[in-house]
Structure 1
Amino acid sequence: MKGLRVLDLARLLPGPAATLRLAEMGADVLKIEAPGAGDASRVMMQSSADRVAGRPGAFYRQLNRGKRETRLDLKSEGGRTVLMALAREADVLIESFRPGVMDRLGLGYDVLRVINPKLVYCAISGYGTQGPYSQLAGHDLNYIGYAGVLDQLAARDGTPILPNFQIADLLGGALSAVNQILAALWAVARGGDGRFVDVSMAHCTHAHNVVAQVALANDGAAPVAGSSLLNGGVPCYNLYRTLDQRWLAVGALELKFWETLCMALDRPDWATRHWSLGQAIAGPDAAQLIKDMAELIATRPLAEWVELLVPLDCCVSPVLTAAEAAEHPLFNAAAREALIAQQTSDEDAD
C-alpha cells in the first residue's frame, strides 16, 4: 500500500485500529485530532508514569504508531479549508463521528466527492448512518449485546461474561472497515469512482455470529452454554482445569486428533466416544466423559500437559495469560529465534 494517502479523523479504538493496519501495509496515514485534549485515547488507560511524564498512554501509542499527526479545528473556517485541501489529494478518509456530524461541518462525503471523485470515504459508527438507531450512542458492549454475541459468551448458568477483547470494535469496526476500504480501492484502481463506505459495528458483528445463526436455522434457537458442539457440549472440544489451577484448551474436534489424544492419555477406550461416531452432543455419555477428562487433566500441572501433548499435534494448547503470550515464540521474535536455534541444535546432535 505504499503511496496510499489516508486521512484518519477517527478516535478511540475502531477507526485508529483500521488505519494502523493500513499503515502496517505501507500506507501514509495522517492522524488528525482536534486542538486541545485531542483524541480521548491519549489518556485512556494511561499509566501513572506516562501521566507524570506528560506523554500519551500505551493505548494511544500502540494504535497510532507509524502515523503522522496534526491538529485541525474543523469547527473553524481555516480548519475546514485545510481538510478540504488534504481530502483533494487523499485516497481514503476514515471518520467515526456520530452520523451527520461531518455533513453539518460541511465536510461530508457529498461535498468531498465533488473535489475528489476517487476518494474512498469510510464512516464507522455503532449502528450505521441510516435507520432508527443511527443516532444512538454506544460502545463495544452495547453492539455485541444487540448482535446476539454477548448472549453466546455466557457461563453455564447463563450469566454473560464481560470480555476484555473488543469484538465489535475490532471485528465489526476495524477489520470490516479495512476489508471494505480495500474493496473500494480495487474498484478505483480499475477505473471506477470512490465510494461511501458505511460500517455499522453492530451489523458487521451480527453478520459474523455464524454458529448461532446456524443453530437458529436448524433449531429455531441459539444454543445455551454447554449444549452444542463448539460451546462445551463435547469432551473433544472443551476447557479443562489443571493441577496448578491453570487451563488446558482441547480442540480435538476431528476424530484423528481425538484418537491421538486418547492414546497419549493412555485411554484408548475413549477414542470411539466421539461426536462424529454418534456420541450425542451434550448427551449423558458426553457429559460423563467430560467429567472423566476433567478428573484426569486435574492430576498434572499445565506445563506437563503441554510438554506431553503439544508435540503430538492433536489440537491441544495452553490457555496463556497476556503476559505469557507476549513472550511466546509465536509472537515474540527473540523467543522464536531462540526456539529455532534450539531445534537446529537438537537436529544436529541427532
Structure 2
Amino acid sequence: MALKGVRVVELAGLAPAPFCGMVLRDFGASIIRVDKMGQPEMDRLARGKRSVSVNLKHKEGAQVVRRLCRGADVLLEPFRPGVMERLGLGPTPLTADNPGLVYARLSGYGQTGPAAGWAGHDINYLAMSGVLSSLAGPDRAPQPPVNILADFAGGGLTCAMGIMAALLERTRSGRGQVIDCSMTEGAAYVSSWLFKSRDLLPIWGEEPGCNWLDGGAFWYGCHRTADDRHMAVGALEPQFFARFADLLGLPDLEQFPIDSAESRRLVAAAFASRSQAEWTAVFAGQDACVTPVLTADEAAASAQAAARASFVPGPRGGAEPAPAPRMSRTPAVGGGDEPRRGQHTTELLLEAGYAAEEVRRLIEDGAVEQCESRSRL
C-alpha cells in the first residue's frame, strides 16, 4: 500500500479530520485515534484505526499524546487555533521532539485572520468561501449540499492531499512542516472553476439558479417520473441534447432558450409518463447523458458498482464506498472494524515505551482510559 509504514496520530474530532484519517488509513497508513474520555462514540469514519482514550486536560494525559507524536510521522488535529498550544501540544514542542513530524492543522477558517477563532460548521465555511451564494435560485435561498463541500472536499480531502505532499517533500529535506488547512479556503479551492469561469457567457451571467449548470436549463437537472422517482439529465452538448430529445419522444424540441417554460413543461410531462425503470431502460448506453437518480443502496447494488467492486461491506451490515482512486501496484483497501473508544489504550502505550506499571498508574489517575476488559496487564 502506498502509505505503508506511515504512522499517524489523529486527535478525534468531527467529520473532516476523521475522514482525512480514514483516507490515509485506506492507502496504508497506521492510525492512532486519540479519543476524549467520556465522549459518545459517534465516529463513523474510524475503520481500521486503533483508539487510545486520553484526558487531554490532565497533565499526564497531554504528555501521553506528546510521547505518541515522538514516534509518529503525522499529527492531525481538528481544533480551533490556540487549543493545542494551551495543552502544551503546539507545533513548537512537538516538532522540537520530532523534527520530521508533519503537523496538520484542520480548522474552519485557518490559524490566522480575524475569523480564525470563530465557531462554525460546513454551512458557515461554505458561506464565507463565496461558494454558497452560487447554490441558490430565483425563489430559493442558498442551500448547501449537506456537509460535503467544506467538511469533506475542502477539509478532509484537501488536508490529506497536503499531508501526502508534505511527506513526499520530507523524503528530500528530511524535515516535517506545519500544514494550515482552512475548510473555508479548501471549499473555495475545490470550487475554483466557479471563480475562474465567471466571464464565460452564456454559461454564467444571470442570477444563481438561472444558468446552464445550476438548474436554470431544462436539459440540466432532475425530472420526476411516474413512480415519483427522478431521472438526472445532463444533455449539455448539442449531440447529446439531440439524442435526449429523440429518446424522450420530442424530436422537435429546441435546446434554446434554456429557460423555456413550454420546453420544461413538455420534458416534465414526458418523464412523468413512465416509471424510472422504464426510462432507465430507454436511456441506458445511449449518448444522451440521462441516468436514474439512485439511492445509496441502489448505487451499491448497481451493475457498474458490482463490476468494479466500488463498495465494500461496512461494519454495520450495509455497504460503504471503497477507496478512490484506484492504484495499479499499491491498491488501497477499504472496510474493516471500527474501534471502541479506548479499545487499544494499553497496547498503544506499551508500544510507545511505557512500562506496564506506568500504564496502570495512568489509568488509575484518570489520565487515560482502557475501555476493553481484555487488558494485557
Residue 335 of structure 1, CA deviation: 9.1
- In the TM superposition, what is the alpha-carbon distance from 1:232 to its structure 2 partner? 2.2
Q: Alignment partner for residue 302 of structure 1, among 255, 263, 276?
A: 276
- Aligned-partner Cα distance in 2 for 1:234–1:311: 23
Structure 1 residue aligned with 2:180: 198
CA shift at 1:319, angstroms?
1.3
1:316 to 265, 284, 290: 290
1:82 alignment partner, one of 42, 61, 64: 64
Please name the residue that 1:174 is paired with. 156
2:133 paired residue among 151, 154, 173: 151
37, 47, 59: which one pairs with 1:35? Answer: 37
- d(CA) in 2 for partners of 1:239, 1:94: 39
Q: In 2, distance between residues paired with 1:257 and 1:205?
A: 31
Report the CA distance shift for 1:331/1:175 in structure 2 as closer, same or farther (over 3 A). same
**Any conservation in 2 of the 1:32–1:69 contact (CA below 8 Å)?**
yes
Quick one: distance in 2 between partners of 1:159 and 1:99? Answer: 31
For 2:167, which of 170, 176, 185 is the aligned residue? Answer: 185
Aligned with residue 227 of structure 2, among 223, 244, 248:
244
Identify the residue that residue 135 of structure 1 maps to in structure 2: 117
Q: Residue 95 in 1 paired to residue 77 in 2?
A: yes
What is the CA distance between 1:24 and its match in structure 2? Answer: 0.6
1:232 aligns with 2:234: no
- What's the RMSD between the two structures over aligned residues? 2.5
> Which deviations, in whole Å up to 9, do the C-alpha atoms of 1:75-99 show, x marking residues without a partner?
3332233222221111111000111
Give the one of 105, 108, 118 matched to 2:100: 118
SS of equivalent residue, structure 1 residue 63: coil
Q: Pairwise mapping of residues 14-29 of structure 1 onto structure 2 (< 5 A)?
A: 14-29=16-31
Question: Is 1:215–1:222's contact at 8 Å kept on the other side of the alignment?
Answer: no
Percent of counterpart pairs with the same letter? 39
Q: Is the 8 A contact 2:20 2:160 kept in 1?
A: yes
CA contact (8 A) 2:138 2:210 kept: no
Instruction: Confirm or deny: 8 A CA contact 1:328 1:336 kept in the other structure.
Output: no
Alpha carbons 2:300, 2:310 under 8 Å: kept: no
The TM-score, its normalising length taken from structure 2, stands at 0.75
Does the CA-based 8 Å contact 2:276-2:292 persist in structure 1?
Answer: yes
Output one character per residue of 1:263-309: Cα deviation in whole Å (capped at 9) or x when no partner: 32343323xx34xxxx3544xxx443222212211111111000110
CA contact (8 A) 2:136 2:209 kept: no
Greater mean deviation of Cα atoms: 326-335 or 79-88: 326-335
Cα distance between partner residues in 1 of 2:27 and 2:187: 24
Q: Secondary structure at the match of 1:228?
A: coil
What is the alpha-carbon distance in structure 2 between the residues aligned to residue 332 and residue 69 of structure 1? 32
Note if contact 2:74-2:101 (Cα within 8 Å) is conserved in structure 1. yes
CA distance in 1, matches of 2:190, 2:266: 34
1:185–1:194: 8 Å Cα contact kept in structure 2? Answer: yes
- Assess if the C-alpha contact under 8 Å between 1:328 and 1:335 holds in 2: no
**Displacement of 1:158:** 2.6
The amino acid across from 2:291 in the alignment is: S
- Residue ranges of structure 2 left out of the alignment (5+ in a row): 312-377
Count of residues paired in the alignment: 307
- Say if 1:98 and 1:125, in contact at 8 Å, map to a contact too: yes
Determine if contact 2:155/2:186 at 8 Å carries over to the other structure.
yes
Q: Give the Cα separation in 1 of the matches to 2:185 and 2:130.
A: 11
Task: Please state which structure has a larger fraction of its residues in helix.
Answer: 1
